[in-house]
């Protein structure tokens, strides 16, 4: 089995569509409320953002999707996303990420 990452906006859209056709279980309702509270952009905008971020040479799929979910505005937020990655980000790398995210906010 291969891993596939999805962002919270996609989760929100899938669960909203599902809720229109049937009642959601408790876990699904909780996930829907969580995704609605934490996502301000559309799934299309997050997809565009994630695609653009993934073009950076140092970016992993995991980090790109986390950036799409969190939408970091400050360097500390970007560093927190990469805390477990084996990547040493320069100040320019962090600035580049923040600028890309800023285009979608």
Quote the domain boundaries for residue 72: 43-104
- Is residue 1 pLDDT above 80, yes or no? no
CA 5 to chain centre: 9
The end-to-end CA distance of the chain, in Å, is 35
DSSP designation for 82: T
Shared domain check, 57 and 18 = no
pLDDT in tens, 72-87: 999 999 999 999 888 8
pLDDT in tens, 88-104: 899 999 999 999 999 99
The count of structural domains within the chain is: 2
Domain CATH code at residue 76: 1.10.150
Model pLDDT, residue 77: 96
Q: Would you say residue 2 lies in a domain?
A: no
Nearest to 34 by CA among 57, 58, 16: 16
pLDDT in tens, 7-37: 999 999 999 999 998 999 999 999 999 999 9
């Amino acid at each position: 089995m291969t891993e596939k990452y999805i962002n919270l906006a996609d989760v929100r859209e899938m669960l909203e569509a599902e809720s229109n056709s049937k009642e959601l279980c408790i876990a699904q309702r909780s996930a829907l409320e969580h995704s609605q509270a934490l996502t301000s952009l559309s799934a299309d905008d997050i997809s565009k953002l994630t695609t653009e971020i993934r073009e950076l040479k140092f970016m992993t799929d995991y980090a790109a999707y986390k950036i799409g979910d969190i939408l970091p505005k400050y360097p500390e937020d970007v560093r927190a996303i990469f805390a477990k990655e084996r990547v040493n980000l320069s100040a320019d790398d962090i600035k580049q990420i923040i600028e890309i995210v800023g285009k979608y906010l």
